[in-house]
C-alpha cells in the first residue's frame, strides 16, 4: 500500500506501453501522466520550487508567477496549493479550457494574454507580461522554466535513470522538444552512460527550436517561437519536425486501441515511427517519452469540428498517408 500526505509525493515512474501491436514497429512509450498533476511537468515544477526554497527567494510572502501553455501551470498550481503559496499562471489562447479550469480549481489565478500582433508569437507576449508583473511587484517570484537549470536537472536525476533501469540495452530515445528541459536532462545523462544511446528530438512544424521558419502551432506542449535558452544541440543526434495534422492522426490511431494520449505524445510517436521505418534495423531497443494523457485535449485534438476546421477532413483519417516529417539535422 502507498500512502502519501502531499500530492507531489506520488509519480508512477515505471509504466511503459508497447506500441508494436498498434504500429507494427517496436517502440516502448514511457507514460508520464500518472501523477496528480497529470504530466511530466510535475518533475520540473517540484525541482524548481525546491531550488527556489533552498535559495531563500521563495517565501510565503511571495507570489509565484510563470508562463505556461498548460501542463507546468497545473503542476505549479498543485504544488502551490500543497505548500500554501499564491500562484499566477500566464498563458495564451492555445491553453485548453480544461487545463485553465484545473488551475483555477486548485486556487491559482490564470491570465490569458491577448493574441499578439508583433513578432515572437504567444510566448513573447506571455514573457513580456511576466516581466511587467515582476517589475511592478517585488513579491513576484518567476521560476522561468525556459532558463532555469532545475528544469533539465529534474530529468537528469529522475527520468533518464529510470529509463536506463528499465532498458539497460537502450539504443535510441525519442524526446519531444518544448522548453527542452526533458530533452537536455535525458541527453546529458545518457551522454555519460556506459553505452551509446542515440538521442532524437521531436518538434512541431512551425517551431523555431532547431531552425526553420516560424509558423502557426495550435496544439500546446511542444515547439517554441524563440530558441530555447536551455538547448545545447551538441547533445542531440537528430531533430525531426512533425506536422500537426499527423500528430492528430497518430493520437486518434492510439485512441482507437484504447490509449488516450495528449498532443505532445502524438507528435513524439509520429516522429519515432517515421525514424524507425527509415532505419529498419532488427532488434533495436527504442523508447519514447509520453508527457501526458489525453483528457485535456478532448475539446481540441479529439474534437472532430476543431480538428477538421484547422487541418481538413483528412486529418481524422488514421489510414492516411505516411508520416509528414521534416528531417532537420543529424550528426
The predicted-structure confidence for 200-248, as pLDDT tens digits, reads as follows 999 999 999 999 888 888 888 898 888 999 999 999 999 999 999 999 9
Categorize the per-residue pLDDT at 114 as very low, low, confident or very high, splitting at 50, 70 and 90: confident
What gap in Å lies between CA 298 and CA 305, rounded to an integer? 11
Region(s) of the chain under CATH 3.40.50.1100: 7-35+159-307, 41-142
The DSSP call for residue 293 is B
Quick one: 319 exposed, middle or buried, by C-beta within 10 A (0-12, 13-18, 19+)?
Answer: exposed
What is residue 251's predicted lDDT score, i.e. its pLDDT? 97
User: Rounded to whole angstroms, how far apart are CA atoms 305 and 182?
Assistant: 32
What is d(CA 238, CA 232) in angstroms, rounded to the nearest whole number? 12
- pLDDT (0 to 100) of residue 212: 82
pLDDT value of residue 325: 47
Give the rounded distance of the alpha carbon of 146 from its chain centre: 12
The predicted-structure confidence for 52-108, as pLDDT tens digits, reads as follows 999 999 998 999 999 998 899 999 999 999 999 999 999 988 888 889 999 999 999
- The pLDDT, as a whole number, for residue 94 is 81
pLDDT number for residue 121: 73
Q: What is the pLDDT of residues 235-291, one digit of tens each?
A: 999 999 999 999 999 999 999 999 999 999 999 999 999 999 999 788 899 999 999
Helix, coil or strand: residue 64? strand
Please determine, for residue 156, whether its predicted confidence score (pLDDT) is greater than 70: yes
Topology (CATH level 3) of domain 41-142: Rossmann fold (3.40.50)
* Residue 174 and residue 287 in contact, taking contact as beta carbons nearer than 8 Å: yes
Instruction: Centre a 10 Å sphere on the Cβ of residue 203 and count the other Cβ atoms it contains.
Output: 28
- Return the percentage of the chain with pLDDT > 90, whole number: 80
pLDDT over threshold 90, residue 297: yes
More confident residue, 8 or 117: 8
CATH number of 7-35+159-307: 3.40.50.1100
Q: What is the DSSP letter of 8?
A: G
**pLDDT band (50, 70, 90) for residue 119:** low
Grid cell 513579491 is found at 139
φ, ψ at 63 (rounded to 5°): -115, 110
The pLDDT of residue 328 is: 53
230 vs 318, residue with greater confidence: 230
What's the rounded mean pLDDT across residues 135-148?
A: 95
In the prediction, which pLDDT does 60 show? 87
Could you tell me if 203 and 241 are in contact, meaning their C-beta atoms sit under 8 angstroms apart? yes
Answer with the residue of higher pLDDT: 324 or 146: 146
Return the pLDDT at 116.
67
pTM of this prediction? 0.93
Task: Quote helix, strand, coil % in the chain, to nearest 5.
Answer: 40, 20, 40
Mean pLDDT is lowest, of 114-118, 236-240, 289-293, 313-317, for: 114-118
Number of alpha helices (DSSP H) and beta strands (DSSP E) in the chain:
11, 11
Closest alpha carbon to 35 in 67, 87, 69, 82:
82
Instruction: Give the distance between the most distant pair of CA atoms in the chain.
Output: 59
Query: pLDDT of 176-190, one tens digit each?
Result: 999 999 999 999 999
What is the DSSP code string of 315-331?
A: GG-TT-SSP-EEEEEE-
Question: Which has more pLDDT, 53 or 119?
Answer: 53
Amino acid at each position: 500500500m502507498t500512502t502519501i500526505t502531499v500530492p507531489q509525493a506520488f509519480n508512477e515512474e515505471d509504466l511503459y506501453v508497447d506500441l508494436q501491436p498498434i504500429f507494427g514497429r517496436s517502440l516502448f512509450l514511457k507514460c508520464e501522466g500518472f501523477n496528480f498533476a497529470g504530466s511530466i511537468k510535475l518533475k520540473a515544477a517540484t525541482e524548481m520550487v525546491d531550488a527556489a526554497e533552498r535559495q531563500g527567494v521563495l517565501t510565503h510572502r511571495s507570489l509565484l508567477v510563470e508562463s505556461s501553455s498548460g501542463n507546468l501551470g497545473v503542476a505549479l498550481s498543485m504544488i502551490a496549493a500543497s505548500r500554501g503559496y499564491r500562484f499566477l499562471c500566464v498563458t495564451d489562447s492555445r491553453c485548453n479550457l480544461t487545463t485553465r479550469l484545473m488551475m483555477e480549481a486548485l486556487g491559482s489565478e490564470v491570465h490569458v494574454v491577448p493574441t499578439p500582433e508583433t513578432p515572437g508569437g504567444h510566448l513573447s507576449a506571455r514573457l513580456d507580461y511576466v516581466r511587467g508583473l515582476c517589475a511592478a511587484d517585488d513579491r513576484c517570484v518567476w521560476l522561468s522554466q525556459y532558463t532555469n537549470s532545475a528544469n533539465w536537472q529534474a530529468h537528469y536525476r529522475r527520468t533518464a535513470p529510470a529509463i536506463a533501469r528499465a532498458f539497460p540495452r537502450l539504443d535510441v530515445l525519442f524526446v519531444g522538444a518544448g522548453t527542452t528541459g526533458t530533452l537536455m536532462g535525458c541527453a546529458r545523462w545518457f551522454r555519460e552512460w556506459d553505452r551509446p544511446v542515440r538521442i532524437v528530438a521531436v518538434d512541431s512544424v512551425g517551431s523555431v527550436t532547431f531552425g526553420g521558419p516560424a509558423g502557426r502551432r495550435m496544439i500546446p506542449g511542444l515547439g517554441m517561437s524563440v530558441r530555447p535558452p536551455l538547448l545545447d544541440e551538441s547533445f542531440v543526434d537528430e531533430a525531426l519536425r512533425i506536422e500537426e495534422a499527423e500528430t492528430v492522426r497518430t493520437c486518434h490511431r492510439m485512441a482507437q486501441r484504447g490509449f488516450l494520449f495528449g498532443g505532445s505524445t502524438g507528435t513524439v510517436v509520429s516522429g519515432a515511427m517515421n525514424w524507425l521505418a527509415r532505419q529498419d534495423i532488427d532488434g533495436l531497443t527504442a523508447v519514447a517519452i509520453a508527457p501526458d494523457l489525453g483528457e485535456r485535449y478532448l475539446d481540441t485534438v479529439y474534437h472532430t469540428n476543431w480538428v477538421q476546421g484547422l487541418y481538413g477532413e483528412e486529418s481524422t483519417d488514421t489510414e492516411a498517408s505516411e508520416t509528414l516529417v521534416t528531417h532537420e539535422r543529424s550528426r
